A and B are shown apart, each in its own frame.
Chain A
Amino acid sequence: MSLFFLSALVLPKIAWSAILPELILLAAPLVLLAVSALSARRLPTGVYAGGMGAAGLASLGASVWLWTQVTPHGAGTAVDGAIAVDGFSVLVMILVSSVVVLAALIGEGYLRREGIGGPEYYVLAMFSAAGAMLMASADDLVLIFLGLEIMSIALYVLAGLDARRQGSGEAAMKYFLLGAFSSAIFLYGIALVYGATGSTNLPQIADFLAHNVASSDGLLLAGMALLLVGFFFKIAAVPFHMWTPDVYQGSPTPVTGFMAAVAKAGGFAALLRVFFASFGLLRDDWQPVIWLVAVVTLLVGAVLALVQRDVKRMLAYSSINHAGFILVGLEAATTRGIAASLYYLFVYGFMVVGTFAVVTVIARRGDEAHDLGSYRGLAQRQPFLAAMLALLLLAQAGVPLTTGFLAKLYIISAAVEAHSYALAVIAMVSAAIAAFFYLRVVVLMYAGAKSGVGLPAPLAATGAGEGAGSGELSPVAAYGPGAASAAELEGDRPEASRPDGAGGGEGHGEPDAAGVPATIALAIALCAGFTLLFGIWAQPVVELARQATLLFH
C-alpha cells in the first residue's frame, strides 16, 4: 500500500549536472567546515585556501563542461523549469568560478598577514559565490530571491570578518540593514508580480504577458518597480547606492574585491534576465526608468569619486560608475546591448578583483593605509605593484588595448545602435570624468616621489600628510630607478608597463616594508594578464559574450 503511494508521488526530474557548479561550491565549504571542526589541531590557512582553490577550479571545469553542452544543444531548462541552462548563465558561472579561485589566492595572503585563522572566509566566500551563480541561472523569481539571500547573507558576515577593526563591523551592520531592507522590497515585488501574472516562473510570466494585454495593470507595474528597487540596491545604482562607499571602505579589502565582482555579477545577471527576457514586452514601461537611473548613476559615480581621499571609497564610487555603464547596455534592450553588458560584467570582474588585490597589499598589516598618500612614489618602492595597478586602473578608465576599453566601446555602440544617443554621450562624458581620478592615482604612483609638480590642486594638499609614510620606506627606493622614467609618465601605455612589471615581480622578492605575498602576486598577475591579453586579442571573450546572449533562454 505504501509502495503505491510512493509510486503515485511524482517527483520533478532534477538534472543534477545542470547545477553542478553550484553543487560543488555548496558542498566544498561543508567539507571544509567538517574538516576544521574534526581536526584536532588548528589547520594553517593554506589548507583551506587550497580547498577553496580546488573547489573553484572544479566548478570552473564544470562550468566549461556545461558550456560545451549548451553550445551544440541550445538553451534549456532543468529542475522543473526553475533553472535556465543557457549560455548567459554558464558564462556568469565561469566568471564567478574564476573569481572564487582568485579570491582563494588573495584571501590566503591577506589572512596570513593579518593572522586571522579558521575557515570562515573561504566557507562564506564559496557560499556567496554559489548564491550568485544561482541568481544567474535561476528561471524563477523565487529562486532568484533565494540565490540573492544565499549570496547576501554570506557577504554580510564577510564584511564583518575583521573583528578587530571597528570599521569592519560597522560595514557589516550597514550592509546588513540596507541589504535586508532591499531584499524585503524585492520579495514584495515578487509577490505583486505573482498576483498580477499568476506565476513566479520567468517563461510563464513572459507567456502570460504575451497573451494578455496587461500594460496598464497597476499591480504588475508596482511589482516591477519594487523588483527594480531591489536590484538597484544590489548593484549599487544611484539613488540606492548610499551603502556602497561605507561598505567598500569598511570591509576587509579582499572581501571588497570579491563583493564588487560577485555581487554585481549575480545582481546584474538576474536583472538582465528578468527585465530583458521576462518583461521584455513591457520595455516601454521600464526603459525610461533605466535611462534615468543609468544617467544619474554614471554621473554621480564619476563626480563623487573625484573628491575622495580614500582609495577604497574612490573605487566604490568608480564601481557605481561602472554599474551605470552596464545599465546603459540594458537600456538599449537589444540582444547587442545585453551582450555588451555581459561582456562588461565579465571583464569588470577581473579588473576589480585585481585592483583590490593590489590595494590589499598596499594597505599593509592592519588593512588601514588606504589614503591616496600611500600611493605616492609607489613605482619606486614596488615597481611590480605599481605597474599592475596602473594597468588595471587604466583598463577601468577605458584605455585602448585593454578589456576595459572594449567593454565601454561595445556598450556605447550598442546604445548608439538603439538610438539612445543622449545616453551614449552622457556615458562618454562620465568616462572622461572618471579617467581623471584613475589617472590621478597612476600619476601619483609614478611621479609622487618628487614634489607634486604639475599635479592637480587636491593632490598638492596631500603632500604634507605622508612625509613620514614614504620616509620609512626610502631605503628600498633605490630599486628600479628606470621604473618612473618620464616616458612612462607621459604615455604609460599598458604594453610598456607589463613586461617591466613582470620582471619586477620576480626579481623584487626580497622583503620590503610591504612585501607582496606570492599568492596575491599570482592573483594580481592573472587579473592583469587577462585584462591585457584579451584587450589585445579581443576576439575570444567578445565572441563568448555574443554567443552567450544568442543562447539566451
Chain B
Amino acid sequence: MTDVSGAWYLSLAAALFGIGAFGLLVRRNVLVMFMCVELMLNAANLTFVTFARMLNDIAGQAVVFFVLVVAAAEVVVGLAIIVAIFRRRREATADDLHILRG
C-alpha cells in the first residue's frame, strides 16, 4: 500500500485527461466525443481526491460530489441535444454538422 505514492495517481489522472482531450479532438462520433469529456471530468476528480489525500484536507474530496452532479446534468442535456439533432439520421458524427460555416 505505502509504496504507491500520490505521484502515480496524479500521472494516471494526467494520462486519462490527455486521452480524453486527444479523443475529443480526433474522434468524429459525437457520442464518443461526449464520453471523452466524461473521461476528462473524472481525471479531474481523481486529481482532486489524490491531492485531498496528500494534503490531508477533506475539501478536495467534497468537490468530487459537486463534479459528479455537474457531470450528470451535462449528460442529461448533452444526450437530449444529440437525440434532438440525430433523430432523423443514421449516424451521429460531427461531420454532419455543416450548415453553419463561413
Residues of A within 8 A of B (CB): 142, 145-146, 149, 153, 156-157, 160, 163, 166-167, 169-174, 176-177, 180-181, 183-185, 187-188, 190-192, 194-195, 198-200, 245-246, 249-250, 308-310, 313
Map CB proximity to A onto B37-74 as digits: 1 under 8 Å, 0 otherwise. 10011011001101100110101100100110010011
Complex-state Cα separation, A309 to B66, whole angstroms: 43
B19: CB under 8 A from chain A? no
B81: CB under 8 A from chain A? yes
Would you give 7 A-B contacts (Cβ < 8 Å), ordered by A?
A146-B66, A160-B81, A172-B84, A174-B97, A198-B55, A249-B100, A250-B100
Q: Which of A160, A171, A185, A198 has the most CB of B within 10 A?
A: A198
The residues of B that contact A187 with a CB separation of less than 8 Å are: 40-41, 44, 67
The residues of B that contact A172 with a CB separation of less than 8 Å are: 81, 84-85
Given A184-B20, A310-B102, also A170-B70 (CB < 8 A): no
Complex-state Cα separation, A149 to B80, whole angstroms: 17
Complex-state Cα separation, A334 to B99, whole angstroms: 43
Closest-CB distance, B49 to chain A (whole angstroms): 9
Map CB proximity to A onto B75-86 as digits: 1 under 8 Å, 0 otherwise. 001101110110
Q: How many residues does chain B have at the interface if contact means C-beta atoms less than 8 Å apart?
A: 42
Q: Is the interface of A mostly helix, strand, loop or mixed?
A: helix
The 6 A-B residue pairs with the shortest CB-CB distance, nearest first, are A184-B40, A195-B51, A191-B47, A246-B100, A187-B44, A169-B85
Complex-state Cα separation, A368 to B87, whole angstroms: 23
Given A198-B55, A200-B63, also A157-B81 (CB < 8 A): yes
Given A146-B66, A149-B70, also A177-B84 (CB < 8 A): no
Given A142-B66, A184-B20, A198-B57, also A170-B97 (CB < 8 A): yes
Q: A177 contacts B30, CB within 8 Å?
A: yes
Complex-state Cα separation, A187 to B44, whole angstroms: 6
The residues of B that contact A170 with a CB separation of less than 8 Å are: 85, 97, 99-100
Closest-CB distance, B14 to chain A (whole angstroms): 9
Given A149-B74, A176-B81, also A194-B60 (CB < 8 A): yes
The residues of A that contact B80 with a CB separation of less than 8 Å are: 157
B101: CB under 8 A from chain A? yes
- B100 contacts which of A149, A160, A167, A198 (Cβ < 8 Å)? A167
Q: A188 contacts B84, CB within 8 Å?
A: no
- Closest Cβ neighbor of B60 among chain A residues: A194
Complex-state Cα separation, A163 to B63, whole angstroms: 35
Closest-CB distance, A199 to chain B (whole angstroms): 8
Closest-CB distance, A179 to chain B (whole angstroms): 9
Q: B73 contacts A149, CB within 8 Å?
A: yes
The residues of A that contact B78 with a CB separation of less than 8 Å are: 156, 176, 180
- Closest Cβ neighbor of B92 among chain A residues: A173
Complex-state Cα separation, A245 to B33, whole angstroms: 21
- A157 contacts which of B24, B37, B60, B77 (Cβ < 8 Å)? B77
Closest-CB distance, A485 to chain B (whole angstroms): 34
The residues of A that contact B40 with a CB separation of less than 8 Å are: 181, 184-185, 187-188
Q: A309 contacts B63, CB within 8 Å?
A: no
Complex-state Cα separation, A477 to B47, whole angstroms: 65
Closest-CB distance, A141 to chain B (whole angstroms): 9
Q: A181 contacts B37, CB within 8 Å?
A: yes
Closest-CB distance, B78 to chain A (whole angstroms): 6
Closest-CB distance, A390 to chain B (whole angstroms): 25
Q: A173 contacts B30, CB within 8 Å?
A: yes
B15: CB under 8 A from chain A? no
Q: Which of A149, A167, A177, A250 has the most CB of B within 10 A?
A: A177
Q: A190 contacts B60, CB within 8 Å?
A: no
- A167 contacts which of B43, B54, B84, B99 (Cβ < 8 Å)? B99
Q: B102 contacts A188, CB within 8 Å?
A: no
The residues of A that contact B47 with a CB separation of less than 8 Å are: 188, 191-192, 195
14 more contacts with CB within 8 A, not counting A172-B85, A187-B44, A250-B99, are A156-B78, A167-B99, A170-B99, A173-B30, A173-B85, A173-B94, A180-B74, A184-B21, A187-B67, A191-B48, A194-B60, A194-B63, A195-B10, A199-B59
The residues of B that contact A184 with a CB separation of less than 8 Å are: 17, 20-21, 37, 40-41, 44
Complex-state Cα separation, A177 to B28, whole angstroms: 12
Complex-state Cα separation, A183 to B13, whole angstroms: 16
- Closest Cβ neighbor of A248 among chain B residues: B100
The residues of A that contact B41 with a CB separation of less than 8 Å are: 183-184, 187
Q: B99 contacts A166, CB within 8 Å?
A: yes
Closest-CB distance, A185 to chain B (whole angstroms): 7
